[in-house]
Amino acid sequence: MDKLFTPVKVGDTTLHNRIVMAPMTRSRATVGDTADALTAKYYQQRASAGLIITEGSQISVQGQGYLFTPGIYNDEQVKGWELSTKAVHDAGGKIYVQLWHVGRISHPSLQKDGQLPVSSVPVKAQNATCYARNENGEPGPVPVPTPRALSIAEIQDVVQDYVRAAKNAIRAGFDGVEIHAANGYLLEQFINGGLNVRTDQYGGINPENRLRFVLEVTDAISQSIGAEKTGIRLAPFGRLFDMHAFEGEEETWLLLADKLSKRSLAYVHLSDQKTLGEQAIPDGFIDTFRAAYSGTLIVAGGFDKSRAESYLQQGKTDLIGFGRPYIANPDLAERLANDWPLNEVNRATMYGGDETGYTDYPFWSDTPGNTE
């Protein structure tokens, strides 16, 4: 049997295969930024994945950078997510929620009382937009402003926002949480040495300082819900949202790998941004990271079945994340197992809208003329 379809234990959860549905923003939470019955149907359809990681779910009002994304910071949002966790569990699946704070990739129209978004430093992300309301109140891409820098006291407040969101996730029935520390959002805005030039204990030349925030978040969540229910997503060498190369970049990521090894997390999840049109993780780095990190590893970014199986057989990773193929193929695991062809993604319906391009993609067995 292909290794892709063998069981694996992640934290305190046993998965029936090594296929992970990677987190993807879909922008369907139109009422109260709350996941609803349609969200639950979407995830239940994909429950044959070994593990589902939800779209990013903002940990606070401050953490939101896109309209219609589901939060996890109030009781109504917890109740909304309960629909999804029950639906996935009823279908035999496992599901983690991704905890999200966008940092500077936001807009005052999304912030409480029209405040500026926050970041490690007051530096604007060049050529970056979020999804907010323009001056006419219409939703759409809006250039991000220059943010303000978080104070040390505010950093500790954000840590507590993460903790509250993680506890809410367990209340909502999730099997665990994934800390979003990738893709140019808040935690990476502290990790990146090309951006974070703070002069206090949370920034500057010393990578220990730039890693302090993400490790404080990781430790606080682990202590509140258990390290075995806590995963984290990283994008080494990521360039999304105006992240830049910096001196000691590889050393920073390997230092983080070493520190995370000591924390007995459920997993570390590496995201290769090549399929997003950005720089790929350099050749050989995943092997280097693997050697530095002793825990369970997920790698995502442009995989097909053959390449996924090769990575697993070579020991480069323990699980494989699939992103966009899961948009159009709710039964992706079965399609991969049986070498059935895949549906194509309709890019026009990836973000926002109703069930069209969300829950109406056909299963193989529902397509006329297909037989197993």
Q: Which residues are catalytic?
A: 185
- Helix or strand run (H / E) with residue 286: helix 285-292
> Cα separation of 232 and 5, whole Å?
23
In Å, what is the CA distance from 128 to each residue of 124, 142, 180, 206?
Answer: 9, 8, 19, 27
> Cα separation of 121 and 104, whole Å?
9
Cα 335-36-225 angle, rounded to 5 deg: 85
> Cα separation of 196 and 201, whole Å?
11
In Å, what is the CA distance from 228 to each residue of 18, 113, 222, 268?
Answer: 17, 37, 8, 12
Answer for the pair 257, 268: CB distance below 8 angstroms, yes or no.
yes
